[in-house]
Each structure stands twice: as structure tokens, then as C-alpha cells.
Amino acid sequence: MENIMIDLETLGTAPGSVILSIGAVEFDETGTGRTFYSRLNPEMQVQKFGMKIDAATVVWWMRQSDEARGEFSSSLGENSPWRAVTEFSQFFRATGAEYVWGNGPSFDCCNLSALFRAVGKEAPWRFYNERCFRTLYFLAPNPQRPAHRVGTAHNALHDARAQAIAAADMLAQLKGKAAL
């Protein structure tokens, strides 16, 4: 499969914000494949790597469901940022994917790239192979937002899976239409 859908849960919206979790799902127009999930230690990101926390985003988190807030609080004390990006790089390379997708051109890919830079590593994808799920949604002939929630809203892996399922369907539609 040539695509990876990523989803991040963060403590801010700007590049350089603390990342709570990274979810990723391999996909193409035929469906989905392997997955990746990592919860990161927010305290370490702030203290050792200078990542930022946005108070408005923390307030937003406090207004989310109990399940989402559980995801937020359960990330405390998990993987170091360096370990998380190392494992993500291994996952990405093992899939043989070329393209990385996020839900917005200036959020998922941009924030994950900022974390890679903060820990002194290079992102495993080429910047020109970043793709936008929102753009695909607006281009597809019969766009399908994730029709059903896959697990918990604001769980990075569950959201990445829902987006990958929808993107696979939309890519199949577009490729079918292009073949006419």
C-alpha cells in the first residue's frame, strides 16, 4: 500500500505543540492495512525538547467526552518523543508507503515533522509527498466522511483508521471515474 494516514492528538494547534499520541494506518483504494499507535510523554517534550502547550487546547480537551479525556490522561508517562518517532519511522519504512496523509495541510504532517526536528531526526517521508484528507473529501464525486466512528473520538489510531477507510473509498471512486 502506498499511503499512510496519520492522526495526532496534541496540546496545541501550532507546529511545535506537544503531541499526546500518534496514530497511523496504511491504506490504498482497496482498503486498509497495518497500523501504528504511540502515546508520548508530554512532560519530556516540554522539558527536553521545548515543545509548547496551548491553554485553549487544554480547555478544549477538558470539554471532550470521558473516553477522550481518558486518552489524554493515559498518555502521561508513556514513550519518549525520540522513541515514538524512531518507531514511527520504522513502521513507515516497513510499509513501503510513499505518501503521508493528514486531516489538513497544516496540522498532522506539519506537527509530526516539527517533532522529528525537535528530537534531531528526519521525517521518513518527502515533504512533497504529503497529502490532505480534507482536499480529497472535496474532490471525490461522492465524498464519504467517516460514516461511523471507529472506536473513540480523539483517539489518534481510531481517528486515523476512520479517515483511512473513507480515503480508500474516495480514492477508489476517483480512480474509477478517471478510468472512464
pLDDT tens across the length of the chain (180 residues) = 899 999 999 999 999 999 999 999 999 999 999 999 999 999 999 999 999 999 999 999 999 988 888 766 665 657 899 999 999 999 999 999 999 999 887 899 999 999 999 999 999 999 999 999 988 888 877 665 555 567 788 899 999 999 999 899 888 888 775 443
**Bridge pairing between strands 3-10 and 99-102:** parallel
Quote the cell numbers at residue 178.
Answer: 478517471
Model pLDDT for residues 148-164, shown as the tens digit of each residue: 567 788 899 999 999 99
Specify which residues 79 forms β-bridges with: 40
Structure confidence at residue 143 (pLDDT) = 63
DSSP letters spanning 81-99: HHHHHHHHHHHHHHHT--E
Residue found by looking up cell 506537544 in the block: 18
Amino acid letter, 11: L
Structure confidence at residue 123 (pLDDT) = 97
> CA-CA distance, 164 to 27, in Å (whole number)?
6
**Bridge pairing between strands 31-39 and 19-28:** antiparallel
Specify which residues 102 forms β-bridges with: 132
Specify which residues 52 forms β-bridges with: 17
- Diameter of the chain measured on Cα atoms: 55
Contact 8, 112 (CB under 8 A): yes
Specify which residues 28 forms β-bridges with: 31
> CA-CA distance, 5 to 163, in Å (whole number)?
7
DSSP 129: G
> CA-CA distance, 9 to 177, in Å (whole number)?
34
Q: What is the pTM of this model?
A: 0.91
